[in-house]
Amino acid sequence: MKMSKTRLYVEKELSPNIMIYIKDKQHHFLKNVLRIKIQDTISVFDGKTGEWLSRVMSINRENIVLQIIKKNKSMMSDIDVWLIFAPIKSYRMNITTQKATELGVSKFIPCITQNTNQPKINIRNLKMNIIEAAEQSERLTIPSIEQSIKLNDLLNTFPKDRGIIFCNEINKDLPLINEVLPNHLNNYKKWAVLIGPEGGFTELEVNKIESIKSSIPVSLGKRILRSDTATTAAVFSIISIVENQL
């Protein structure tokens, strides 16, 4: 018997002694890649009740049966940060969602802007990528991902109690995130970071974003960053600052 370092996400709500049936891609990974054995133990989580230790009870052609033994970790309160991003090429978008998941983003919102070059995205593939990142980073929750929405529609219905960190790559005279965000921590407990497409926001879009009362325009520095790099830098800065105030 051995303890696997692998963590698996399962959709079924977990509790002591219940049986979990692992199928498809996860079944192949456990059986043929890790070559687990009966009585081995594996950590599993459901995004709702914490992390649990399970034991391998049987290994079959179609599934692997796990029995929940005990809870390893209880749920904790996550920082509530959304990532609003213009879709980019799938490889770099996978990197973006992976890193943002590891850092603690709670929701992804693909946003179609005037200069968006990749308006169609595969939500299913992104969701799988998000789950894998959560499994590997020891998160206890799975970020949600919304269907694509036009920027104007998003802003027209945006919740007033959520601050928007608007990363404006054109205006380099704006303050950096770490210079301005601490001044707003008492105003908002929930946040969103807005990253534009590779072509940037249009002037009309910038005006619309800045007309939102909760919008906080910031610069990410003197250099022009690729969207995936800008996203990682912005999310890391925001979550680090907010966590330090808890």
Confidence of residue 220 (pLDDT cuts 50, 70, 90): confident
pLDDT by residue (tens digit) across 153-178?
999 999 999 999 999 877 778 888 98
**What is the pLDDT at residue 3?**
63
Question: Residue 156's domain spans which residues?
Answer: 81-244
Q: Nearest CA to 187 among 226, 213, 222, 210?
A: 213
CATH number (domain holding residue 204): 3.40.1280.10
**What is the pLDDT at residue 127?**
95
- Cβ atoms 58, 38 nearer than 8 A: yes
| All residues at 6 or more sequence positions from 24 whose CB lies less than 8 Å from its CB, including other chains | none
SS3 content of the chain, % helix, strand, coil (to 5): 35, 30, 40
Both 98 and 69 in one domain: the answer is no
CATH number (domain holding residue 8): 2.40.240.20
- Give the pLDDT mean for 105-123: 89
Classified as helix, coil or strand, 168 is coil
Choosing from 73, 102, 119, the residue where a domain stops is: 73
- Domain count along the chain: 2
**What is the pLDDT at residue 243?**
86
Both 180 and 217 in one domain: the answer is yes
Classified as helix, coil or strand, 8 is strand
Least confident of 71-75, 164-168, 217-221: 217-221
**What is the pLDDT at residue 246?**
63
Choosing from 55, 73, 91, the residue where a domain stops is: 73
- Give the pLDDT mean for 195-204: 89
Percent of the chain with pLDDT over 90: 72
Q: The whole model's pTM is what?
A: 0.91
Choosing from 39, 56, 73, the residue where a domain stops is: 73
